[in-house]
Amino acid sequence: MGGAVPELPMTADGFESRARELLDARAFAYVAGSASSERTAAANLAAFERFRLVPRMLRGTSGPGTRDTAVEVLGTKLAAPVLTAPVGVLELLHEKGEVVVAGVAKELGVGSVLSTASSSTVEEVGAVAGDWWYQLYWPADDELARSFVQRAERAGARAIVVTVDTPSLGWRPRDLELAHLPFLLGKGIANYLSDPVFRAKLPAPPEESEDAMRMAILTWVGLFGNHTLRPADLAKLRDWTDLPIAVKGVLHPDDARLVVDAGADGILVSNHGGRQIDNSIAALDALGPIVAAVGDRADVLFDSGIRTGSDILTALALGAKAVCYGRPWAYALGIAGAPGVRHALRLLLADFDSAMGLSGCADLAGVTRDLLAVPR
Ligand code: FNR
């Protein structure tokens, strides 16, 4: 693992504080920041205080590292129920951020979800990634949406994750600081700049001049989000690709039911780490009701607040099949590149393995609702 690893923090909080010290203040603000009062982000973490584990003893489970954490989710087989969450604009943290993360995820047998807002193209990531999914920010142009999805499928993506909580970016005060906006603008648009449908909309190739690049950025601003999407639009996606489809950012059980009725194979219960609507419910509070609403008609995944192995256990006990891990590995990427991401993911996986053993779970089938006390 290299000499740098012992120097790295041992907790998610540790990654955050080290990143605060070491990273460019604007890059740190981009990762750490959430919407408005940042109450949603705080609620995500606090919710785990209310769902306490009641571990079982004397179950004769096997020792560390031998427990069976394998899972199949949306048709993808993973060694552990963990994927790296789609995190955009990684060039703020590392020149080859998406490629690094996808490579480390593959090495450790976990999944990775590539953001539409990536700083590397789907083709670059597909060349190194193992079991990866493509996250779609559905643009305000169906031709472009189709092109993104079909490029991802050709590049080897195993599922499409449509993020529906971001028809436009949330109100994020830390990014709105005057010095931050120019720093962020024009980043994370590699998939647009390399897309034939996008390029056909431009008066000149963005490589040619600063003016052409400015036009490309303006075109991106106009196309980024889509406020008109309805559940029925999933039928278009079904036409464009054979891959399983998950919908990310659902918090209401009725919305979950609607998208499953409309053909989604999976739901990713998430509030975007509190970066979209402020003062919303904690994502963890939405999980149980959504699992109850969709039953076994769809695979339910969870993110927004996963920091430890017990957090994963809690989400699984509430009915999630797998979780996405977000900010901590992003900090680790910024601090230490590939060894940092490897360290962050290995810590989480080892902590999860330990939590399984200490709560009497030999495999994921043993992680059930009765592992949790009734919430206070
Ligand atoms: C995100 N998230 C996100 N989601 C998405 O669908 N597409 C994206 O491009 C991004 N970009 C992004 C950037 C940064 C810096 C963060 C922190 C988050 C949301 C992400 O996938 C996930 O939902 C959250 O990270 C979960 O919250 P925690 O656990 O990281 O706090």
Residue 37 lies in a domain: yes
Pick from 4-8, 130-134, 271-275: least confident: 4-8
Q: Look up 272 and say whether it is catalytic.
A: yes
Per residue in 21-55, pLDDT (tens digit) is 999 999 999 999 999 999 999 999 999 999 999 99
Q: Determine phi and psi for 239, rounding to 5 degrees.
A: -70, -35
Domain assignment present for residue 6? The answer is: no
Q: Give yes or no for a contact between 284 and 335, defined as CB atoms under 8 angstroms apart.
A: no
276 annotated ligand binder:
no
Would you place residue 61 in the very low, low, confident or very high pLDDT band (cuts 50, 70, 90)?
A: confident
Write the residue with the smallest CA distance to atom 25 of ligand 1.
326
Q: Is the pLDDT of residue 4 over 80?
A: no
Strands 322-325 and 82-84: parallel
Q: Which of 39, 90, 275 to mutate to test the pocket of ligand 1 (most atoms within 8 A of CB)?
A: 275
- Catalytic-role residue among 94, 180, 252, 272: 272
Q: Cα(133) to centroid of ligand 1, in Å?
A: 14
Q: What's the CA-to-centroid distance between 175 and ligand 1, angstroms?
A: 15
Closest CA to 319 of 334, 340, 299, 346: 299
Rounded CA-CA distance 27/283 in Å is: 25
Token pair, residue 36, equals 């408005």
pLDDT of residue 256: 98
Grade residue 66 by pLDDT with cuts at 50, 70 and 90.
confident
Predicted confidence band of residue 6 (pLDDT cuts 50, 70, 90): low
Residue 206 C-alpha to ligand 1 middle, in angstroms?
Answer: 28
Task: Assign 88 to helix, strand or coil.
Answer: coil
Q: Are the C-beta atoms of 94 and 331 separated by less than 8 Å?
A: no
Measure the CA–CA gap between 56 and 47, rounded to whole angstroms: 22
In-domain check, residue 373: no
| Distance from residue 87's CA to the centre of ligand 1 (Å) | 5
Query: Which residues approach ligand 1 with their CB closer than 6 A?
Result: 30-31, 85-88, 115, 117, 135, 163, 248, 270, 272-273, 275, 303-306, 324, 326-327, 330
* Confidence band, pLDDT 50/70/90 cuts, at residue 152: very high
Predicted local confidence at residue 210, as pLDDT: 96
ipTM for the assembly: 1.00
Top mutation candidate among 161, 250, 272, 301 for ligand 1, by most atoms within 8 Å of CB: 272
Ligand 1 atom showing the smallest separation from residue 163 Cα: 6
Q: Is 5 annotated as a binding residue?
A: no
Condensed to tens digits (0 to 9), the pLDDT of residues 199-242 reads 999 999 999 999 999 999 999 999 999 999 999 999 999 999 99
Q: What is the CATH number of the domain that holds 129?
A: 3.20.20.70
Taken as a whole, the chain contains a residue count of 376
Structural domain contains residue 175: yes
- The answer to whether 30 is annotated as binding is yes
Q: What per-residue confidence (pLDDT) applies to 60? A: 87
Q: Would you say 327 is a known binding-site residue? A: yes
Residue 116 CA: which ligand 1 atom is closest? 9
Gap between the Cα atoms of 200 and 202, Å rounded: 6
Q: Is residue 63 part of a domain?
A: yes
- Spatial CB neighbours of 145, under 8 Å, sequence gap ≥ 6: 136, 138, 139, 226, 236, 240
Question: What's the pTM value of the predicted model, to 2 decimals?
Answer: 0.98
Q: Tokens 């994502």 map to which residue?
A: 283
- Whether residue 349 is predicted with pLDDT greater than 50 in this model: the reply is yes
Q: How many whole angstroms separate alpha carbon 10 and alpha carbon 205?
A: 46
Among candidate residues 328, 330, 290, 291, the one with its CA nearest the CA of residue 309:
328
Q: Is 86 annotated as a binding residue?
A: yes
The answer to whether residues 283 and 251 touch, using CB atoms and an 8 Å cutoff, is: yes
Q: What angle do CA 288, 292, 294 make, to 5 degrees?
A: 120
Does residue 184 belong to any structural domain of this protein?
A: yes
Model confidence at 3: pLDDT above 70: no
Our count of domains for the chain comes to: 1
Residue in 161, 125, 144, 121 with CA at minimum distance from that of residue 243: 161
Provide CB contacts within 8 A for 249, sequence distance 6+. 163, 164, 165, 166, 268, 270, 271, 272, 276
Which pLDDT belongs to residue 376? 58
3-state secondary structure of 68: strand
Please check whether residue 89 lies inside any domain of the structure. Answer: yes
Comparing CA positions, the residue from 120, 134, 124 lying closest to residue 89 is 120
Burial class (CB in 10 A: 0-12, 13-18, 19+), 175: middle
What is the Cα–Cα distance from 158 to 326, expressed in whole angstroms?
20
- The residue segments making up the domain with residue 215 are 12-366
Task: For residue 374, tell me if it sits in a domain.
Answer: no
